Amino acid sequence: MAGTLILVRHGQSEWNLKNLFTGWRDPDLTARGKEEAKNAGKALKKRGFSPDVCFTSALKRAQHTLDLMLAEMGVVNMTIVRNQALNERDYGDLSGLNKDDARDKWGEEQVHVWRRSFDTPPPGGESLKGTAERVLPYYEASILPLVKKGRNVLVAAHGNSLRALVMQLEGLSPDEIVAREIGTGDPLIYEIDENGKVLSSEAI
């Protein structure tokens, strides 16, 4: 029996709009972000998807996105598991800084390395590799077993925590995953069999 795993990056946050490094800081959604979350819920409802259990991070932009999606799907009394293992990558000393100001301070090339390399962390923060090292064990222990049992699981999280999952699900290399863009509010759907094998994947 195949289960369904749906991954959704939170809608646009207030700091996305201001071009700030966010990481573990906790801004909420913008008006556009709320609409993106609602539209994701509408798209999933149109496809007939109904989650059996939901997972999200400890950050309110992801939690709010999930709540808005569930409201659009007409889902109530849902089991929601919140865990910081699904938090965004920690940007350390870059958190709260404008990305242009960071380039002025450290240089375009250095900031690009911090943002887009797989295993080079910013000062005081995490690389994508480090993010994957906390996301993937949690996924394998808490989320994948439910999907393998045929459950429909919805995960609302963040660009980099979802990159860690997509890398494993799609068998991507470090170079491929750092180049992969995951749009705000764009659901990714994976059908997974009882052995954990991905049978199909689709973006809607």
Torsion angle (degrees, nearest 10) of CA 101, 62, 30, 116: 30
Per-residue pLDDT 10s for the chain (204 aa) are 799 999 999 999 999 999 999 999 999 999 999 999 999 999 999 999 999 999 999 999 999 999 999 999 999 999 999 999 999 999 999 999 999 999 999 999 999 999 999 999 999 999 999 999 999 999 999 999 999 999 999 999 999 999 999 999 999 999 999 999 999 999 999 999 999 999 999 999
Map out the domains of the chain as residue ranges: 3-203
* pLDDT given at position 92: 97
* CA-wise closest residue to 33 among 63, 61, 3: 61
Instruction: Report the alpha-carbon distance of residue 160 to residue 169 in Å, rounded.
Output: 14
**Using CA atoms, how far apart are residues 194 and 1, in angstroms rounded to an integer?**
6
Superfamily classification of domain 3-203: Phosphoglycerate mutase-like (3.40.50.1240)
Asked whether 167 and 159 are in contact (CB, 8 A), the reply is no
Name the pTM for this structure.
Answer: 0.96
Residue 81 has phi, psi (to 5 degrees) of -105, 120
Q: What pLDDT, on the 0 to 100 scale, is given for residue 1? A: 78
Q: Which of 70, 77, 79, 78 is nearest to 49 (CA)?
A: 70
CA angle in degrees (0–180, nearest 5) for 197-201-204 = 155
Residues 6+ apart with CB under 8 A from 33: 10, 11, 12, 13, 16, 61, 65, 184, 185
End-to-end CA distance of the chain: 23
In order, the DSSP letters of 61-117 are HHHHHHHHHHHHHT--S--EEE-GGGSPPP-GGGTT-BHHHHHHHH-HHHHHHHHH-
Residues labelled as active-site residues: 10, 88
Q: Which residues sit opposite 189 in a β-bridge?
A: 6, 202
Query: Which residues, in sequence order, are CB contacts of 32 under 8 Å at separation 6+?
Result: 11, 12, 17
